[in-house]
Amino acid sequence: MLLLAAGCGYLEVPPGAAATSVRGAATPVPARALLSPATVPTPTRAPLATPQTPEPQADTDLEQSVADIRVALEQTLRSAALPGLEDLRLVQFDRHHHQALIIATTQGWAAVPPLTSEQLMLTLHRYAASGEQDSEHGEWLIDVFEEE
């Protein structure tokens, strides 16, 4: 503020100080160079590679597990370990496309009351060893029997 006042008017200062003030006021202060809006180089990053979308391994694993449980179910129904049930067969096997769910229709059961049909529908879900449903990694287990 004192330098501004010294540059705009006269100050009454002692004789040795005037030379310093005048020199200070007369010395041109370099004006700041105006920065032009020139392009400032900024560090650039290589574009992120977009990952290719191969068929998810989980889908392949799911399809394989469905095929495996179908074979196991067919083998169980034809097994000699089930005496008197030799006529059992799998007549329909459908996997739900949005849930970990399989509907298997079997035929050849004895229509003993309360059953009125020889067909049973089996519903399978995936379960973890803990007994909780685990739609991604569990084992397929039959959890519902219904008369068809």
Q: Is the confidence at residue 92, as pLDDT, over 60?
A: yes
When comparing pLDDT for 142 and 58, which is higher?
142
Q: Whole-angstrom Cα distance, residue 137 to residue 125?
A: 11
Q: Is the confidence at residue 109, as pLDDT, over 50?
A: yes
Q: Whole-angstrom Cα distance, residue 44 to residue 36?
A: 22
The sign of the dihedral angle between the CA atoms of 72, 77, 81, 82 is: positive
When comparing pLDDT for 111 and 142, which is higher?
142
45-68 burial code (b ≥16 CB/10 A, e <16): eeeeeeeeeeeeeeeeebeebbee
| Predicted TM-score of the model (pTM) | 0.58
The model's pLDDT over 42-87, given as tens digits with 9 standing for 90+, comes to 555 555 555 554 455 667 888 999 999 999 999 988 888 877 777 8
The H or E element that residue 121 is part of is strand 119-127
Window from 46-50, 100-104, 126-130 with minimum mean pLDDT: 46-50
> What is the reported pLDDT for 128?
95
